[in-house]
Structure 1
Amino acid sequence: MNREAINYVKEAEARVEELRADAEKEIKDIKEGKALRIDKIKEQTEHELAAYRNEQKEQLETKLKRDEDLLEEQVATDVQRFNEAYEQNKERLANRIAEEVLHRYGHSQNEKADFIS
């Protein structure tokens, strides 16, 4: 029986070693699988982040373009308004200058004529 007990203990020790080796292999496989999942998640996160950044960039560029177009439209409107005001007041200004010239030189001519007479 002694021999049987020794064989039984040896078999048990061998089984424990197998279980330990299996456990270590399973732990290694779990760690590798975990590392692969983490890498995949990181890659997916980076991809999603890049897509989000591109989307935000496109939205900002669209808004900037819209603002630029609005500004150009406002500038064009202001230019047109100033040109119209200039054209409307150009005639009035010319008339006012003519009046002033006539007023100044008209009196000078009248004064000379009065002086000579």
Structure 2
Amino acid sequence: MSIKVIDYIKDIEVQIEYSRREFEETIQFIENNLRKEIDELQRVYQADLNDYTEMKTSELEARLALEEEQLTQEFSQKKAALEAQFDQHKDQIVDRILKEVLNQYGYRQNEETDTLS
């Protein structure tokens, strides 16, 4: 082989090596940019997720507070109704007891007083 051919082959090898390095650098640059874009997207999506979670948490807490308030009102109404019913039954029981006591003892005492007079 001639020196020209050998030099030509060496030049081609140098160009191939240069192209290979350039290709690797380009790939590395693309990978770095891709990683940066992915990191940025992750950051944005995480921020969006955090905002959404906060919003939903606030909505659910507000809903819970509203339902709690409604249940408290319902409970208070039922409690008041039961207390009124209890008082009514208590009054009825007291009336029955008084009538029974008066029937058993009250009239007799009156009868004894009438008899003594």
Q: Is TM > 0.5 for Structure 1 vs Structure 2? A: yes
State the TM bucket, normalised to the shorter chain: 0.7 to 0.9
Is structure 2 residue 102 aligned with structure 1 residue 102?
yes
Q: Which moved more, 1:90-99 or 1:54-63?
A: 90-99
CA distance in 1, matches of 2:69, 2:3: 97
Q: What residue number does 1:41 align with?
A: 41
Q: What residue number does 2:28 align with?
A: 28
Matches within 5 A, 1:6-25: 6-25=6-25
Q: TM-score normalised to the size of structure 1?
A: 0.74
Q: CA deviation at 1:107?
A: 4.7
Q: Percent of aligned pairs with the same residue? A: 28
CA distance in 2, matches of 1:63, 1:53: 15
Gaps (5+ residues) in structure 1? none
Residue identity opposite 1:22 in structure 2: E
CA distance in 2, matches of 1:9, 1:106: 137
RMSD of aligned residue pairs (Cα, Å): 2.9
Q: TM-score normalised to the size of structure 2?
A: 0.74
Gaps (5+ residues) in structure 2? none
Aligned residues: 116
